[in-house]
């Protein structure tokens, strides 16, 4: 088994990435991910989206927790905050409350988000804080080398479920919708163009945008969320899907066997900053 912690691993890959071209948004640190990991296409997608949106690196902060996915900020040439396992959202909240002008992109894995960090998601969503949350769902714990995750399927065999997982997986899309996220979409690492499109739309959304990215872990999942399986099941949301229809979004999100890609729900509403400004206005009126 490959040791993903070894920085030696990046040096090996340096040449390969340098030759790939557009690096303005990329740091000189090479992704430490396993070759073939779905996460590569996400870092690609974010760099491309930032180029397209014309974001300034100095005004962008990438925030993450801990995990393979959470290594993301090191690979970007923006400001970055690699925080603690599960705590990316509250850190991002602090950054955004302190400075409205920053573009804040939060990334993390499914364990980071829905296990240890589960308490924070409802609150970031309901407050409609103006950040983008890109969730890299590989259905397994990558960094700690292959344990079960809250999105692992029943019957999944991992190092901590040698007799197969018996826990029902969560449905992240339904959770986020019901928490009040004002923008919810799904993409697939195996479809990089659509993924980039979704990232652009997510960052452009004013408010809390949640992008769920299905992303195979080639090292620790050989049976479930593989490129092969996902390639056969994912499909776009129907052309007539109404992104303002909450019930339709919930209905579509229930289809976990055949995951649908695209924007499930989008609705503008006041952001946390709007609310805080309103409070300030009311308070100032009293003096």
Ligand X SMILES: Cc1ncc(C[n+]2csc(CCOP(=O)(O)OP(=O)(O)O)c2C)c(N)n1
d(CA 176, CA 131): 14
- Rounded to the nearest angstrom, the gap between the alpha carbon of residue 62 and the centroid of all alpha carbons in its chain is 11
Q: Which of 50, 68, 89, 203 binds ligand X (CB under 6 A)?
A: 68
Task: Based on the shown chain and the rule CB under 8 A, indicate whether residue 276 belongs to the binding site for another protein.
Answer: yes
d(CA 253, CA 248): 9
- Between 69 and 234, whose beta carbon lies closer to ligand SF4? 69
Q: How many residues bind another protein (CB under 8 A)?
A: 49
d(CA 183, CA 202): 7
DSSP 3-state of 42: helix
Residues 6 or more apart from 153 whose CB is under 8 A from it?
Answer: 139, 165, 169, 224
Compose the 187-226 pattern: x for residues touching ligand SF4 by CB under 6 A, - for all others: ------------------------------xxxx------
Closest to 218 in 3D by CA, of 35, 68, 67, 71: 35
What's the min distance (Å) between Cβ of 42 and ligand X? Answer: 11
For residue 165, the partner it binds in ligand SF4, another protein, ligand X, none, with Cβ less than 5 to 8 A by kind, is none
Closest to 68 in 3D by CA, of 157, 160, 4: 4
Q: Answer whether 220's CB lies under 8 Å from 246's CB.
A: no
d(CA 128, CA 209): 8
What's the min distance (Å) between Cβ of 1 and another protein? Answer: 20
What's the min distance (Å) between Cβ of 33 and another protein? Answer: 14
Q: Answer whether 230's CB lies under 8 Å from 188's CB.
A: yes
- Between 181 and 214, whose beta carbon lies closer to ligand SF4? 214
d(CA 42, CA 125): 22
Q: How many residues bind ligand X (CB under 6 A)?
A: 17
What's the min distance (Å) between Cβ of 12 and ligand SF4? Answer: 14
Task: Based on the shown chain and the rule CB under 8 A, indicate whether residue 247 belongs to the binding site for another protein.
Answer: no
Q: Answer whether 104's CB lies under 8 Å from 142's CB.
A: no
What's the min distance (Å) between Cβ of 3 and ligand SF4? Answer: 10
Task: Based on the shown chain and the rule CB under 6 A, indicate whether residue 10 belongs to the binding site for ligand SF4.
Answer: no
For residue 265, the partner it binds in another protein, ligand X, ligand SF4, none, with Cβ less than 5 to 8 A by kind, is none
Q: Which of 112, 130, 191, 197 binds ligand X (CB under 6 A)?
A: 112
Task: Based on the shown chain and the rule CB under 6 A, indicate whether residue 110 belongs to the binding site for ligand X.
Answer: yes
Half-sphere exposure of 210 (CA within 13 A, CB side): 27
What residue ranges bind another protein (CB under 8 A)? 7, 27, 29, 57-63, 66, 73-74, 76-84, 87, 89-99, 101-102, 119-120, 122-123, 272, 276, 279-280, 282-284, 286-287
- Would you tell me which residues interact with ligand X (CB under 6 A)? 66-69, 85, 109-112, 136, 138, 140-144, 149
């Amino acid at each position: 088994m490959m040791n993903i912690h070894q920085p030696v691993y990046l040096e090996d890959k340096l040449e390969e990435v340098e030759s790939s071209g557009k690096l303005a948004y990329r740091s000189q640190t090479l992704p430490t991910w396993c070759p073939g990991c779905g996460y590569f296409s996400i870092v690609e997608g974010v760099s491309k989206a930032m180029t397209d949106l014309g974001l300034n690196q100095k005004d962008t902060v990438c925030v993450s927790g801990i995990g393979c996915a959470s290594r993301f900020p090191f690979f970007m040439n923006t400001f970055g905050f690699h925080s603690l396992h599960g705590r990316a959202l509250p850190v991002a909240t602090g950054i955004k409350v302190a400075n409205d002008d920053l573009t804040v992109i939060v990334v993390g894995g499914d364990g980071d988000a829905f296990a240890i960090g589960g308490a924070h998601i409802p609150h970031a969503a309901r407050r409609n804080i103006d950040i983008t949350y890109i969730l890299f769902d590989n259905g397994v714990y990558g960094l700690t080398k292959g344990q079960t995750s809250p999105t692992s399927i029943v019957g999944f065999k991992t190092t901590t479920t040698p007799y197969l997982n018996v826990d029902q997986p969560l449905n992240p899309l339904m959770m986020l919708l019901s928490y009040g996220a004002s923008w919810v979409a799904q993409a697939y690492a195996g479809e990089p163009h659509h993924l980039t499109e979704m990232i652009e739309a997510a960052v452009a959304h004013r408010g809390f945008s949640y992008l769920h990215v299905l992303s195979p872990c080639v090292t620790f999942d050989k049976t479930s969320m593989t490129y092969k399986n996902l390639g056969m099941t994912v499909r776009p949301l129907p052309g007539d899907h109404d992104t303002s229809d909450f019930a339709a979004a919930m209905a579509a999100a229930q289809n976990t066997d055949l995951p649908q890609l695209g924007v499930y729900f989008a609705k503008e509403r006041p952001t946390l900053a709007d609310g805080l400004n309103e409070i300030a206005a009311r308070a100032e009126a009293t003096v």
